[in-house]
Structure 1
């Protein structure tokens, strides 16, 4: 099984919540690949299997903003069994015939709707239609999405985010 984790706004070599989530996925699934932007920031982690799109110069960023779908045509030519998205807008980059698409929530409901969906009904409806699963941080967040946005309950899962710290078995 071939898995793609699409992280157009983040890079698993760096620090952050989404970045950590991607590294933890790599520990579970060795056959996962990441599609991300080439990042000139300091790299804190050595993560293999990253397909990096070069967009570090000002004109490359403008080209991406204007022609994102065309600029990422390389992604459309790749074949994967499962697509994991960290941002809902990235669903537009996945070919229409792909069925196994999973979106992962990384921030609370109100910020997610405001920052990621931006109240874009077309995007929300596309996610409702095309996603196999929408993975939530908590039952509370799932209930909010189902109730407030009428998201199909059958397409939802709750998985608490893991981290790279070892579990402590001793009392504090």
Structure 2
């Protein structure tokens, strides 16, 4: 039994390492998208990046991707945990309307915000996948109230850690 447990622990650590690499890549892409000088263009770019990251993490952990569940999970998580960051995103996008300095400042702030949100989202989702992998939660729970609440809690914790 010890050998099986050791293999499972090593497998989980490997999955987490690969998933964290996917989060780092997506966060970097999100920061680049957030820096776009066109007001509010980053919002349209961020959603596919974050969806792709979540789908990649799901596959890394060996589960099937259900796009509708993932989309619902994303929207409920960001809506619940990212209200202050959403406000900052609106302000920075409004700054982008000011030629020159406003565009640069707005882009820099927006890039940081996009990167932080994406990293927190990815790390929270890795936490969910770890719970599923260990059997503490079912993959079917992800789209339920229980799954959304757990994801929101983890997301808020990650946001606090990344500030």
For the criterion TM > 0.5, the same-fold answer is: no
Hey, which of these two has a bigger chunk of helix by percent? 2
Scaled by the length of structure 1, the TM-score of the pair is 0.21
Hey, which of these two has a bigger chunk of strand by percent? 1
Bigger relative contact order (CA 8 A; separation at least 6): 2
